[in-house]
Structure 1
Amino acid sequence: MKDANATAHKGQKAVARMGYIAKGVVYLLIGGLAIMAAVGLGGKNASSKEAINSLASQPFGGFMLGVLGIGLFGYTIWRFVQAWSDTENKGSDAKGIVTRIGFVISGITYAGLGVYCFDIILNAAYSSGGSTEDRTAKLMSYPGGVYLVFAVGLVFIGVGIRQIWRAVKRSYLKNWHTQEMSRHQLKVAEGITRWGLSARGVVFMIIGGFLCLAAWNTNPDQAEGLGGALSTLASQPFGPWLLGIVALGLISYGGYCLLNARFRDVS
């Protein structure tokens, strides 16, 4: 029995670490494309699926997509384990339940990206799977859909604020095996993480703001996803600089995911 538990624990750790690597790759792609757009090297402000599309066109793209898809499914499994087993000790009060439901929603989202990877391999399905505006319009068409879109926007804003708060409070440290890091490694890891979390928080708040605006005006065309949020930054005064800062932050968030793959406690 002890051997079986040890094997299951090793399997869980492998799945979680593989998942964090896959998530990190997605954000490295998004940030890389955005920084290329900021400096005029032909990149673009891409959504997660568009970033995955860019990987498909590379040499051995099909193989890389397969590995990425498997990793994203691994992240999905880990998110479900976090929710079911309460690995983060969130508890069963209202706040804990909401957080654990958030883990499930996150897992479903990345499962969708994993499926998309294999859709490309099997069907060469180079599409975004419907724009943010289309999905928002469909949601608004249901009874109470406008209120639901507004609520989703508030959730995005709340998640964005929480990301920035985590960067300020350094709450990520309690999840790391910091004893395995040298002082220099920890300092570098913290710099990467705080920049990454802050940039992701800003992007999520922009997405949430657009969703709330779309619901308030009953106009789904005002909704924007990740690519739209980055384009909004680029269109502001000093836009290329703003986009560059946030793009580097998204790359840093990808680095944070890779740090989680190496140092995070996934027991």
Structure 2
Amino acid sequence: MAFAKKEIPSLKNLYKTAAIIGFVSKGIIYLVIGALSLLAALNMGGESSGTNQALLFLKRQPFGQVLLLLLGIGLLCYSFWMFLQAFRNPENISSDQKGKLRRFGLFTTGLVYVVVAFLCFYHLVTYPMDDGTNSRYLDFLGPTTLSYVFIAIGIILAIQSILLTVGVIQGGLLDQFNLEGRKGSAVIRTVGQFGFYARAFVVAIIAYFFFRAGIYTGNHDIKGIQDAFSFLEQSALGRILMALTALGFIAYGAFYVLLTRYRSFESEA
């Protein structure tokens, strides 16, 4: 299991350990979101869930404070691995335009999970005042500016959804995890494909929310994963779509947990 040749063995082990802890932590988040939403779809006592709701659920469990602390640290490890790939490039991602775009994507992913990690720490010391997500604190920008901001976010999310879908179809998205030749890689790839499709589907719905919020200036509430599941629930095939998407999120979480055993961490060079 070799990283870039210039890295000393102790650093290789540190990088790998951080990545493994990070994969498990990210997987747990999506497993909880998917499980709670699946239970809601089946009328078995769950609720449509997003990241914040998943963290609140964990907080209410026995030793919830410890769980949140460990999860926050684990997500910081995941961000560290993302930043490491973006700047140090231990696996020798190509330096062409495609490689640069991929490394920029890794950097932005790292930023996202820094925020989620600090959300874990936030819930350690506070009690939730509002389970929803609201953007009214952005109203100082003015309705016109805020509309442009929301439309821009909607465009970015729509592009992300398309790139996720194309990446799965073409195979490149899953190729980056270096599963080729590993035992059980075909099954893991199938699980990953289903999970990434579900994530792309939810991102597309959230993009629609932002477009709508940008066009109708009186509705500037930020929508997230929980609202996407609620939106599915209200559609004509609501329960079925919600259940399938929840299963996809479970698959997405399971994929990252399984990476801890199957990912090769080998240099691409």
In the superposition, the TM-score normalised over structure 1's length comes to 0.87
Give percent identity, aligned residues only: 27
CA displacement 1:226-250 (0-9 Å, x = unmatched): 1111111110012111100000000
In structure 2, the residue corresponding to 1:178 is in which secondary structure?
Answer: coil
Which deviates further from its counterpart, 123-132 or 106-115? 123-132
Partner of 1:194: 193
Contact 2:133 2:222 (C-alpha < 8 Å) held by counterparts: no
Partner of 1:217: 216
> How many residue pairs are counted as aligned between the two chains?
260
- With over 3 angstroms needed to count, the CA separation of the structure-2 counterparts of 1:58 and 1:168, relative to structure 1, is same
- With over 3 angstroms needed to count, the CA separation of the structure-2 counterparts of 1:4 and 1:155, relative to structure 1, is closer
Q: CA deviation at 1:3?
A: 11
Contact 1:19 1:73 (C-alpha < 8 Å) held by counterparts: yes
- With over 3 angstroms needed to count, the CA separation of the structure-2 counterparts of 1:192 and 1:217, relative to structure 1, is same
4+ long deviations beyond 6 Å: none
Q: CA deviation at 1:153?
A: 1.1
Q: Please state if 1:165 is matched with 2:169.
A: no
2-side partners of 1:11 and 1:50: how far apart?
31
- With over 3 angstroms needed to count, the CA separation of the structure-2 counterparts of 1:67 and 1:92, relative to structure 1, is same
Q: Please state if 1:250 is matched with 2:253.
A: no
1-side partners of 2:233 and 2:171: how far apart?
29
**Structure 1 alignment gaps of length 5 or more:** none
CA displacement 1:33-55 (0-9 Å, x = unmatched): 10010011121111201101101
2-side partners of 1:264 and 1:141: how far apart?
47
2-side partners of 1:88 and 1:49: how far apart?
35
Query: Which amino acid is 1:163 matched to?
Result: L
- With over 3 angstroms needed to count, the CA separation of the structure-2 counterparts of 1:148 and 1:102, relative to structure 1, is farther
* Alignment match of 2:104 (pick from 98, 101, 119): 101
Contact 2:150 2:210 (C-alpha < 8 Å) held by counterparts: yes
* Alignment match of 2:95 (pick from 91, 95, 104): 91
Q: CA deviation at 1:133?
A: 4.0
- With over 3 angstroms needed to count, the CA separation of the structure-2 counterparts of 1:24 and 1:265, relative to structure 1, is same
2-side partners of 1:18 and 1:141: how far apart?
42
Which of the two has greater helix per residue?
1
Query: Which amino acid is 1:246 matched to?
Result: T
- With over 3 angstroms needed to count, the CA separation of the structure-2 counterparts of 1:186 and 1:67, relative to structure 1, is same
Partner of 2:39: 36
2-side partners of 1:49 and 1:128: how far apart?
10
CA RMSD after TM alignment: 2.6
Partner of 2:154: 153
Which deviates further from its counterpart, 204-213 or 144-153? 144-153
